[in-house]
Chain A
């Protein structure tokens, strides 16, 4: 059974700000899903290889060439920035504390 604190911890790992009400709803729902997926523990998978994809693939190499995007695409990407300073993406400072 998931606890409220565990759900709060998962929300923090997921970078999600949630209300107490949300936390409780998610606790119940996530608990039901985790209970269901426990089904896998019935299977003995000792020695079974793990596969992370459907179609077998080996490493695919390509030449490390610079492929500049055209200026129009470049400008369109800049336009999507929430905050912009010239051609630079403006972000909040990592060590800033605006509560002080």
Chain B
């Protein structure tokens, strides 16, 4: 059984296990399962073991250690680690080697974490199943005929399968929370601006956030403490007041007001998912929370606004892949030819689809009807949350309308695939933090409870999450 970060810290501090033992055991699990799951695209075996040995030495000397000293972490393939490939799951960047560390990586390294390898993902983080990866789909550790969700499917599967206690993912419309839900682990989409995006391969810059996945809420909070905070290299990152971890995970939720949005019960929602989420809400009520009905009236428009805004931003961001400066390059008869060939052959179908969608909604004659309209709807959605949070502290909902579906099931029908993000995208459009926590199973497949909070109020999400995990044991179950 893979220990949690908290357990690893204890084991190392009490010398119950050496760091080398912990890392060796992770590597063994990876060796035996990764070929089937395809969760990791590369594993830094030698470097990880060497670092573990030096950490053991450091600890035996009693030197000062970091907050994540010796903790193995898996990194989504769109976050730059100097000297590692960073392919973003794309042929376009198949051979691209990162020239520098993302800010979150520099911070993890400073905290003493051991970076184990690169996690598979949907190409450029566009997808909900990790099937759009150029390097083949990742499989769900709970059932290998099922998808792990996406786009951070490799990160979620790696944590669920016990490759590492935690992973980093990115969340633009649910890409941390939805795979966390489908793989039975915890995932956080932080408030926009809490974590620096410097060194994360940009998809939709007003929506992207890096977030951690782990098995417990406390572990997620521990990783967040290491990576969050102001970074001069990302002007949208924000100065945070410091808080200690014990305060953050204070378990008492007596009197806390939890809102249940009526609009989140939608047609096509799995009855088992609904039941599991309602049970979870009851558990929180028994723990002292007050459950209040709330309304987020523009919810049904969120997905449509997202699939205008996100492709619009992505089409601009991905303009940089022109075959000239880095990445896949195909030389044609003219400069234009070279651009078109490089992009025509370097990008996969989902990415091309969204680039075209983005170009269309931004093009002359359509801008007002699509893009401007989507930005107006975005402000209506934000207002919905502001109003709702006047009466409640936290909003509870499902993370995904269904459990993990079969590989290939939605692959050729992009719109159906998009609908699987229906509960997660609002948080990105509104900028608010949202946490997914395992809350049950339907036919052997995990279900996730989503908790959304006020801007920069992650602490309250941690409190509810920790209290819930104290009362339940879903998070300690692992696939066979």
Residues of A within 8 A of B (CB): 7, 10-11, 13-18, 22, 26, 29-30, 32-34, 36-43, 45, 48-55, 57, 60, 62, 69, 73, 76-77, 79-83, 89, 91-94, 96-99
Contacts and interface: CB of A to CB of B under 8 A. Distances in A.
Contact of A40 (B331, B359, B373, B430): B373
Contact of A29 (B207, B329, B353, B382): B353
Contacts, number: 180
Nearest to B312: A52
B442 interface: no
What 3 A-B pairs are tightest by C-beta distance, nearest first?
A: A54-B431, A17-B344, A50-B375
Given A14-B315, A43-B301, A54-B206, A82 B431 contact: no
B277 interface: no
Given A30-B356, A97-B334, A99-B333, A53 B206 contact: yes
A92 B428 CA distance: 40
A43 B97 contact: no
A14 B322 CA distance: 11
B333 A10 contact: no
Q: Secondary structure of the B side of the interface?
A: helix
Interface size class of B (residues with CB under 8 A): 35 or more
A60 B376 CA distance: 24
Given A29-B415, A53-B192, 11 more contacts: A14-B315, A18-B344, A33-B307, A38-B304, A39-B301, A45-B373, A50-B372, A51-B382, A54-B207, A82-B326, A91-B324
A28 to B, nearest CB: 10
Contact of B340 (A17, A26, A69): A17
A14 B343 contact: yes
A51 B378 contact: yes
A26 B325 CA distance: 28
B335 A60 contact: no
Given A54-B207, A55-B455, A92 B373 contact: no
B355 A30 contact: no
B344 to A, nearest CB: 3
